Amino acid sequence: MKVTANRLDNTAKELLIDVSEYEAPRPFEEVVKLVSQLKSGEYIRMLHRKEPLPLIQMLQENGYECRMFPGQQVEWEIIIWNSQDISVQEFCLMNFSNSPAK
Amino acid sequence: MNTRGLSLDTIPPLLIPLRFFLTAPLFGICAALLIFYQGSDIWLSRWSFSSLALTHLVTLGFMLMVMIGGLYQFIPVMVGQLIPAGQYLAPVIHSLLVIGTFSLAAAFLSHFIFLYVLALISLALSLSLFAFSLIPLLIAQLNKHLLVYLLRILLVVLAITIAFGLYMLFSYSFPDSLINYRLYTDIHALWGLLGWTVLLIMAVSSQVIPMFYVTPEFSKNSLKLLSMAIVLTLIMLSFSLLLIKDKLFSGIFFELLLSIELLVFSLYSLWLIEHRKRKLADVTISFFRIAHFSLLVVIILWWFYAQVISAEEELLKTQMEFILAISLVYGLALSAIIGLLQKIVPFLIFLHLQRLSLKHPGTISLVPNMKKIISTKNSKIQFLFHCLSLFLLIFSVFFPQWVWLAAILMMINFIWLWKNLLQGIFLYQKNRKQILNYNYSYET
């Protein structure tokens, strides 16, 4: 698994994880692991071939926000961040809230 | 899809699907016991009551049981909506299906009218309740989901199969009514064994194969077209059986068409399996290979049966009918379903423990790897038992003196499956307790 970190501006650092070629439930395992290591100022961009609805439900139940939209390289891109992290929350809401629905 | 404000409900309580999955192998064990008890007589005629009891123990008790449990689990994961009132309806549907299947098998074996009536009422109620609970989903605007499209077709095919079945059951319950049992049985078997079985495997394969084995996705349009073509061909074949007395031309034409449709599905599925992106060693994919290979065998044997064997060769004709049924039910459907259970039950256990672990920080290490829930070694042994029992069942049709051995292997196959599923549940219970206790000591 490859996680790429990019700081997009002064407020948010993106952790990119491509799980589009992993068999179920490995995408789930890898993202949950990454979420548990998420630091202040970071959010996750997950690339996947499926809509991971149970994962999104579980993350939402545990205080994370998710946005899902059609990807450029793969079928789906999912943005995940901790809703308690104010700076990332603002950044993500500004940049991903109007992502087109598929 | 933007998930803001969207309340996802994709995870039904574990017990809803599990009660169906854990009951199904018990019906497989009963079916094996029936073969063992009947001995070589079981393959005497497909019209015998013991072979009717056997067919329904496997198709209703195992296949339909797993299908209903699987739909309770899969529909929410795929479309983000639970099947309504599952917590209340699933136990009722399950109990009625258990009662209906047992009483139907017992009625075939004992001919007690009371049992036919009990089977008629229980099965009709169970399936109506399930169909009723699916209505909101079936009328919802979920056309982009291939599973929903295939499900709609699958349920129509199942409804036609069951309607013919219940009609005959009604006639058994009220013996004064005279109907052409053989004609209706042929149509019931055509829709059930070919229509329902193949479309069920199509719906399962379209979701499970890409998800668990990272194959290219099934083409939505191809499967929509193919499933519709199969249903239309079945309708035409049924009409040719019901209405056209000289069915020689129309029968052969529609049989040829159906064979081509099944051949396309089988080869397409095998092609996708062979073109998976990451060829990880996984024994469960072999179950799907066996399933689709069995369908190829059915197509070849069907033509041998229909074109080469003459009406006078009665013994060979009967033997071919049993081999076709065994290849379709045990070879195609059960291989895929047993393979699916090796994946789906560990996945469910993993999912529920993972959910619990997220609520109890620091417990992620207590969520077992899926391959530890049903080990690769146990799945390999399952595959061996399944292949051996499939081979011996077919072998015993030609050499009925060996039917006892086929029955024993079949029984071991289902006992092993049940043991593996139960082991998974015990592991779930153990780890669940550990996660909850970990949280308790952490908080205090």
Q: Tell me whether residues A25 and B355 touch, CB distance under 8 A.
A: no
Q: Tell me whether residues B358 and A58 touch, CB distance under 8 A.
A: yes
pLDDT confidence of residue B181: 80
Least confident range from A72-81, B116-125, B251-260: namely: B251-260
Q: Tell me whether residues B3 and A56 touch, CB distance under 8 A.
A: yes
Q: Is the pLDDT of residue A3 over 70?
A: no
Q: What does the pLDDT average to over A33-49?
A: 92
Q: Tell me whether residues A24 and B2 touch, CB distance under 8 A.
A: no
ipTM of the complex: 0.81
CA neighbours within 13 Å on the CB side: how many for B70? 25
Q: Which residues contact B185 (CB under 8 A, 6 or more apart)?
A: B47, B168
Residues in chain A closer than 8 A to B350 (CB atoms): 25, 28
Complete domains list, chain A, with CATH: 3-95 (3.30.110.40)
Query: What is d(CA B2, CA A65) in angstroms, rounded to the nearest whole number?
Result: 11
Q: How many A-B residue pairs are in contact by the CB < 8 A criterion?
A: 79
Q: Is the pLDDT of residue B335 over 70?
A: yes
pLDDT confidence of residue A102: 42
- The most confident of the ranges A42-51, B77-86, B244-253 is A42-51
Burial B121-133 (b: 16+ CB within 10 A, else e): bbbbbbbebbeeb
Q: What are phi and psi of A14, to 5 degrees?
A: -95, 130
Residues in chain A closer than 8 A to B214 (CB atoms): 21-23
Query: What is d(CA B242, CA B164) in angstroms, rounded to the nearest whole number?
Result: 13
CA neighbours within 13 Å on the CB side: how many for A70? 3
Confidence label for B128 from pLDDT (cuts 50, 70 and 90):
very high
Residues in chain A closer than 8 A to B210 (CB atoms): 49
pLDDT digits (tens, 9 = 90+) for B425-441: 999 999 999 999 885 55
pLDDT digits (tens, 9 = 90+) for B384-415: 999 999 999 999 999 999 999 999 999 999 99
Q: Tell me whether residues B211 and A67 touch, CB distance under 8 A.
A: no
Strand ordering across the sheet containing A64-70: A3-7, A13-18, A42-48, A76-82, A64-70
Answer whether the bond into residue B368 is a cis peptide, omega within 30°: no
pLDDT confidence of residue A101: 43
